[in-house]
Chains A and B, each alone.
Chain A
Amino acid sequence: MRLVLERVGHAFLGRAVLEDFDLSLAAGEVVALLGPSGCGKTTVLQIAAGLLDPLRGRVQRHYRRHAVVFQEPRLLPWFTAHDNIAYGLRAAGVARAERAAIVAQRAQDVGLSLHDLDKYPAELSGGMRQRVAVARALAVRPDMVYFDEPFTAVDVGLKRILQDLVIEAAAREQFSALFVTHDLWEAVRVAHRLLLLPRRADGPVVARAIAGEPGRRRERDIFALVEAWSADPAFRELFDGRESVH
């Protein structure tokens, strides 16, 4: 197991967000974490990535290096796309000369042209910025990647392309991933299995396996599965459109 969360609990200002939450992620496995807005998905991700210390429970990480792709691109506005992609490498102490080659390779992986690398984030479109953020994460050769609703802000056509990019990279480089999303279709496309967080901290977590390998599933099957689960009472909270109140 690359990542194990055991009986993790957390509360903000006394309001419980998570209770007794368990999660384990095997090598090369992509797990989608679903749930209505405000149910604590980002909190789980931050705890797993060590950005937030949980109040209760245990987190075990058995991997060399992780990377996080946030909901917003979180690029440094004063750095070019090239320097933004290189940021994780710089933090890891990779020499400048080596960085350039890795950046060029990763830019190509996510479909950025060499010409785009000299641009500042303000000169890039929203989709391109998120590509830069994905390239920055992949550049450090992580064996664990955390995605926090990374493609919420891009339009449907681009979303599919970016998802395929992630699916391809995960298969190629065998990293594990925790993919947070509130989009059932996205979860069914990118993940091996999914977890549905309840709105209330003490509610039941729904776990479902998704047949087939990400990237190998037929669009028809994906569509049928999304249809079936949309009608499933266990997934009701995902579609009732209410915000969580704890």
Chain B
Amino acid sequence: MVRRLMAFIGWAGRYVWSAWAGACGLLCIAAAWQGAHEFYGSFVLPSPVETLHEVAAILREPWFVRAAGETAVRSLIGFALAVGIGTLTGAIAGYSFAAMRLMRPIVTVILGVPPIAWIVLALIWFGSSGGSAVMTVVVAALPISFAGGLEGVATRDRALDAMARSFGGGMWLRFRTLTLPHLISYLFPAWTTTAGTAWKVTVMAELLSNTGGIGGELATARALFDIPRVMALIVAVVAFALLTEYALLHPLRDRLERWREAGLPWGVKR
């Protein structure tokens, strides 16, 4: 128990420490931003510090908390649906050649339609409700999970499968112990991409359909020419996307894929 705890603390420490490198990258962006600000002036591009002040200000406003909550719920529902449906259909396609032949073209068509066209359609179908944002997220992000599920199942190790069958292992055991761990390594990239897409597409759909949320606030701020607020909202969305990825998905992946780390030689662990 104590050993487990120590191992966990060690892992958490390493994970947080690795954030330094990420912070350096962000500071480089901030420096470039400051340079552009000094060139164009505050009206076109407020400085990072001004923007941070504005972020701090809106964080205290009740309307922002409500808008952020709306956007979060919509992107979460969109994320869950896209990942759920995409992974499931992709996995089925991976198992069944016939299903793959049937579903591949459908996904290609979905991919071919530009997201902006989906927003227009969603607006017509769902009107000015959150449904249009959710639908846009689902359609925009579903193909990635589909591809991940398909590849993951299709590239499962047949030799391991034969081994499991030689011991009389049933379908369910083989799926859980052989296919699923392999599948997860294909799904994680799909999930991180989907998480990022979900935030961005939700905001975009909200802005275009004027259905509240951060996108709605962005539309209002733009109409009022409140540039610092526009910047603050953008920074907030980016922060949410980064938070989802680095506070939620990456730690989860690290925990699930510890066996991968075991194979790395010393010194290259991260």
Binding site for B on A (CB under 8 A): 49, 51, 66-68, 70, 72, 74, 76-79, 87-88, 90-92, 119-120, 122-123, 140, 146
Contact = CB atoms under 8 A, between A and B. Distances in A.
A67 B166 CA distance: 7
Chain A, interface SS category:
loop
Given A90-B173, A120-B262, A76 B160 contact: yes
Interface string B141-167: 000000000000000000110111111
- Top 6 nearest A-B pairs (CB, nearest first) are A122-B263, A91-B169, A120-B262, A68-B166, A88-B167, A91-B167
A134 to B, nearest CB: 13
B160 A74 contact: yes
A59 to B, nearest CB: 15
Interface residues of B, number: 19
Contacts of B178: 76
Contacts, number: 54
Contact of A76 (B168, B177, B257, B263): B177
Nearest to B178: A76
Contacts of B163: 68, 70, 74
B189 interface: no
Given A72-B159, A91-B173, A120-B262, A51 B166 contact: yes
10 contacts: A51-B165, A67-B166, A68-B163, A77-B259, A78-B181, A78-B259, A87-B167, A91-B173, A120-B259, A123-B262
A140 to B, nearest CB: 7
Nearest to A80: B259
A122 B262 contact: yes
A76 B156 CA distance: 12
B167 A122 contact: no
